[in-house]
Structure 1
Amino acid sequence: MENALITGATQGIGRSIAISFAKQGISMAICSRNVKDLELLKKELLSINPKIQVFAYTADCSQKIELLEYARLAQQHLGFIKIIVNNVGMFTPLSILDDADDAFMQNINTNLMPAYELYRFFGKAMMTERSGHIFNICSIAAKEPIVNAGIYSVTKAALYSLSSIMKLEMQAYGVKVTAVLPGSTLTNSWAGTAVPPERFVLPEDIAAAVLNAYNMSKGANVDEIIIKPVLGQL
């Protein structure tokens, strides 16, 4: 059975990807800081597909020790992790000049560090198995910086660059790496908005694209996925 690991799995894009994986019969490790949300998602995934395994672990992925313990236990419970979805992230709508003193490291430790550390943790096993697919959930802000999201744009650009390096290091071993760059997506970042849903990309759209990329033939790698609202960015 194929096994996936998702960071930040209980909301938005991560949640939609987890549901898509469950429907396909992919077992997975999921994590969140919220115990209640985590248990509810685990029950939902198992109700979708009782044949899969779901390992749920409470972790703050911005803390390296907690992140690596999650990775270790996921591998222990499920076995070889074939798919990694680096989804966890944070967004604070501020210019860099208005950032809090700790904003830089918070954003680095949430938007960039987890992908780097999970790559180092699982990468060599993927090389040995000559199998695997890493999805890095970046943002269109990685290519089109947003004035009111300065450090977010910087860290997502760094994640996009890291994704490119991963692909170059892994391609000789048949391990796939895909950067996902969503535009304005209807997640909790837009909670309370009066803008109608049809002005957004939906999390389900991102999940469908990820699953489609994963299901391609062994010789095909989708380098990057860009999905933006049809009527333009918000």
Structure 2
Amino acid sequence: MTFDLSGKTALITGSSRGIGLSIANGLAEAGARIVLNGINTTRLAETQASLANKFGAARVESRAFDVVDEEQVNAAVASIESDIGPIDIVVNNAGVQHREPLLDVSLEAWRRVVDINLTSAFVVGRAVARGMVDRGHGKVVNICSVQTELARQTIGPYTAAKGALRNLTRAMTAEWAPSGLQINGLAPGYIHTEMTQKLVDDPAFNEWILGRTPAHRWGTVEDLVGPAVFLASEASDYVNGQVLFVDGGMTVVV
């Protein structure tokens, strides 16, 4: 029963596809009412319809908003809590990648990656946490990465953002845990999604991943569901400020 999310409302950013969609599906399977988010309104509507068909329309909502626009975020959070109910769980999943050597990355590209991967967790997390602090409970799950711990060529902005997201998680814990919140990070390894398909299809890179990962395989979006449910549920009530790596062992070997 400690993993049961029945009666809980969860907002998952960047959840119209990929990792965010899988986590949203998993939280719904655990009993939560879910609120999907994205900026592609067509895809968001299609995803909502698909999950509503599976779980029932009453348990699947959506809000289209830009996760780095504070005005839009505040309006969306107010709308959710007014129309649906208090947000018990927020998963800060929205992210973007940019592959280019640091010597060539434009400042515009740098800011875009840092904003979407890091600043959005601050903007959305804070907007939701205000209500959680008042109510004395809540779960904040920040989606980190193996790049929270490691670095690789050509993805410097992403690595910097995900590293900083771990310390944002710690800062949130320092300030909000005394009010009854649990704030943790979930760090996927190399996950096979449509966004990483080109890497999977690259024979040299694919072989590097298989050799570098003790589990000797790519992760799947389903591998993240159990850990996400754990961090969103009562099972993690005394877990705070941690980053749970789900990476097949990549970050513990050389």
Partner of 1:214 in structure 2? 232
Deviations for 1:134-168, whole angstroms, at most 9, x for unmatched residues? 00001111111222210100011111110111112
Go from structure 1 to structure 2 and tell me whether the alpha carbon gap of 1:219 and 1:60 turns closer, same or farther (over 3 Å shift).
closer
Aligned residue among 38, 46, 62 for 1:40: 46
Unaligned runs of 5+ in 1: none
Partner of 2:24 in structure 1? 18
Q: Bigger shift: 135-144 or 207-216?
A: 207-216
- What displacement does 1:47 show? 2.1
Partner of 1:69 in structure 2? 75
Deviations for 1:98-141, whole angstroms, at most 9, x for unmatched residues? 11230122122211111111222122321221111000001111
Matches within 5 A, 1:5-154: 5-50=11-56, 52-154=58-160
- Whole-angstrom CA distance in 1 between matches of 2:56 and 2:110: 42
Q: Bigger shift: 72-81 or 4-13?
A: 72-81
- Whole-angstrom CA distance in 2 between matches of 1:183 and 1:62: 25
Runs of at least 4 residues of structure 1 off by over 6 A?
none
Q: Any conservation in 2 of the 1:62–1:106 contact (CA below 8 Å)? A: no
- What displacement does 1:231 show? 7.3
What secondary structure sits across from 1:114 in the alignment?
A: helix
Q: Any conservation in 1 of the 2:96–2:116 contact (CA below 8 Å)? A: yes
Q: Any conservation in 2 of the 1:61–1:114 contact (CA below 8 Å)? A: yes
TM-score under structure 1 length normalisation: 0.90
TM-score under structure 2 length normalisation: 0.83
- Whole-angstrom CA distance in 2 between matches of 1:224 and 1:13: 17
Q: Bigger shift: 36-45 or 85-94?
A: 36-45
Q: Any conservation in 2 of the 1:2–1:82 contact (CA below 8 Å)? A: yes
What secondary structure sits across from 1:115 in the alignment?
A: helix
Q: Any conservation in 1 of the 2:91–2:140 contact (CA below 8 Å)? A: yes
- Whole-angstrom CA distance in 1 between matches of 2:99 and 2:168: 24
Partner of 2:170 in structure 1? 164
Q: Bigger shift: 192-201 or 90-99?
A: 192-201
Q: Give the number of equivalent residue pairs.
A: 233
Go from structure 1 to structure 2 and tell me whether the alpha carbon gap of 1:118 and 1:221 turns closer, same or farther (over 3 Å shift).
same
Partner of 2:188 in structure 1? 182
For residue 244 of structure 2, what is the amino acid of its counterpart?
A: I
- What displacement does 1:186 show? 1.2
- What displacement does 1:15 show? 0.3
- What displacement does 1:216 show? 4.0
Q: RMSD of the TM alignment (CA)?
A: 2.3
Q: Any conservation in 2 of the 1:199–1:231 contact (CA below 8 Å)? A: no
Unaligned runs of 5+ in 2: 1-6, 211-215
**Residues 1:203 and 2:221 aligned together:** yes
